[in-house]
Structure formats: structure tokens, C-alpha cells
Amino acid sequence: METSALTTILLPLALGIIMLGLGLSLTVADFTRVITFPRAVLVGLLCQMVLLPGAGFAIAKLSGLAPELAVGLMLLAASPGGATSNLYSHLAKGDVALNITLTAVNSVLTVVTLPLIVNLSLEHFLGESRAIPLQFGKVAQIFVVVLGPVSLGMVLKKKWPSLSERLQKPVKILSALFLVLVVAATAFKERAMLGAYLQQVGVAALAFNLTSMLLGYALPRLLRLSKSQSIAIGMEIGIHNGTLAIAIAYSPMLLNNSTMAIPAAIYSLIMFFTAALFGYAVNAAQRAPAASSAASGN
């Protein structure tokens, strides 16, 4: 697939479908629910907005990533959780309501935090004296990309709930299909260097993925949040919106750099497998003491 077709057709369509699917699952209550459990939301935002960029920066430096790949990893770290995190949270017995709320709030905050983190990364890793300015136009572009389809989905859910219900399943299937197509198109575009990129960033992407989920689960547990809340936060910050990161990397109006899309593409191949293992592991750890107690009772 030519770069022009990827950037002008597939990526906008994929991102629109994925964010529409997120909107179809959201209501205003998902935002106001912050008042119900502010502590859990604040811990989740701390992990997402502060700890993840810090972890991404440390991994990029320790791995010795090439500058453009390092910026790509930071772009991924700054991206919000993917809509699929809600499904994985449900399967792993997490607090899905908290997960949906975090996804909603993170998506809004990303409009400001993502350009800020990417700008700092460009300055640090590429040594640019002037990074992409945090102008209103740039923020507005990301606002439209991220929140436009989400808002449309929320309006559909409120005004036509039965239509919204019918659309959710096909939109989820299309979202998964488009994610696969975006990753495949990115890999094809960079096929000449894909082997080298896998060697350079594969371990870093895996390390970042595992660190994200461990931080997202362990810190809430240390702060005495419930197990279900900790699972929700772990899934939220472990499953990133890779399509958004790839779209921003490719966009001629934003980064216009296909190399910066590679970490997100590789991460997107990894995260669904590791998230499934993570969900199994945290629940297996819970079942083991229960089994021991039952055995001792007998």
C-alpha cells in the first residue's frame, strides 16, 4: 500500500471507526463517575500521565533506541488506552465501569498532554531547537481526530440507543480488522527495514508493555485499591490506542514520519497476547489461595 493511500484513506477511516466504537459505549455518566471513585481515577491518571512517559523514557534510553524510534515509543506512551482495554478488563474480572471512565477521561486529556510529551521528546532525542509548536491548530487537529468520532458515538447512544446497540458489535469487529490492516500496512511500508526495526525496538516494546501493566496493577494495589480496580487500571495503561499513535506519526500535518510509527505497530502486535496472559495470571494468583484454603478445610 502506498504511503498516500495509508495516510489519506486507511488511517483516518480506521481511527474514525475505532473512536466511534468507543463513543458508542460511553455516556455522560462515565465522565461524572469520577466523583464516585475519585481516588481510583486519580491513581489511574497518575500511572497514565506521569509514570508511563517516565517508564517509556527510561526504556528508550536504556535500550539505546535510535532517536526516531525513541520518539515513537514516547508517542505511544502518551497515547490513551485503547477501547479494547474495556473488553480485556471484563474478561479479567476488572472494574469495567472504572476502565470506561479512565478511557473517557484519558482521551480528553490526551488532546493537551500528547502534543506536550511529543514536543519534549522531539527536543530531547532529535536535538531539535524547535519542536512542533503546541499551537491551537495542532491541538485542534488532535481534538478532532480523537474526540470527534467519540462525540458522534455518544450522541448516537443517547438519541438512538437501539441503533447504537445494533452498531456496537459490527463496529468492534471493524475496529479489530482495521487495527490489523493498519499494522500490516505499516509493516509493508517499512518492510525493507522491518527486520532491523524488530531487533532494535522489539525488546523495548515488550519491556514497555510489561512495565505498563505491572505499574498499572502493582501501584494501585500498594495504594490499597481493590483487586478489580487494579486490574482495570493495569489493562487501561497496558493496552494503548496504537492506531492513534500510528496516525499521528504518519500524518503530514503532524509528525509526517513513518519510522516513528514502528514502535506502536510492534506494540500493537504484542499487547493483546500479553494482556491475555496478564489477566490469566492475576486471576490464577487469586485462585491459588482459595484452592489452598479449600484443601486445608477438607
Which of 116-120, 172-176, 221-225, 241-245: highest mean pLDDT? 221-225
What is residue 6's predicted lDDT score, i.e. its pLDDT? 56
Q: How many whole angstroms separate alpha carbon 231 and alpha carbon 117? A: 26
- The yes-or-no verdict on residue 181 having pLDDT over 70 is yes
More confident residue, 275 or 169: 275
What is residue 296's predicted lDDT score, i.e. its pLDDT? 53
- The yes-or-no verdict on residue 255 having pLDDT over 70 is yes
| Count of Cβ atoms closer than 10 Å to residue 257 Cβ | 18
- The yes-or-no verdict on residue 239 having pLDDT over 90 is no
Which residues, at least 6 apart from 249, have a Cβ–Cβ distance to it below 8 Å? 72, 75, 255, 257, 258, 259, 260, 261, 264
Give percent above pLDDT 90 in the chain: 18
- In contact, 230 and 70? CB cutoff 8 Å: no
Q: How many whole angstroms separate alpha carbon 248 and alpha carbon 256? A: 8
- In contact, 238 and 103? CB cutoff 8 Å: no
pLDDT in tens, 29-45: 767 777 777 888 999 99
Listed by start position, the domains of the chain span: 3-284
Q: How many whole angstroms separate alpha carbon 238 and alpha carbon 187? A: 22
Fold of 3-284: Na+/H+ antiporter like fold (1.20.1530)
For residue 129, name the pLDDT band (cuts at 50, 70, 90). very low
| Count of Cβ atoms closer than 10 Å to residue 111 Cβ | 18
Q: How many whole angstroms separate alpha carbon 35 and alpha carbon 17? A: 30
For residue 173, name the pLDDT band (cuts at 50, 70, 90). confident
For residue 134, name the pLDDT band (cuts at 50, 70, 90). very low
Mean pLDDT for 38-67 is 91
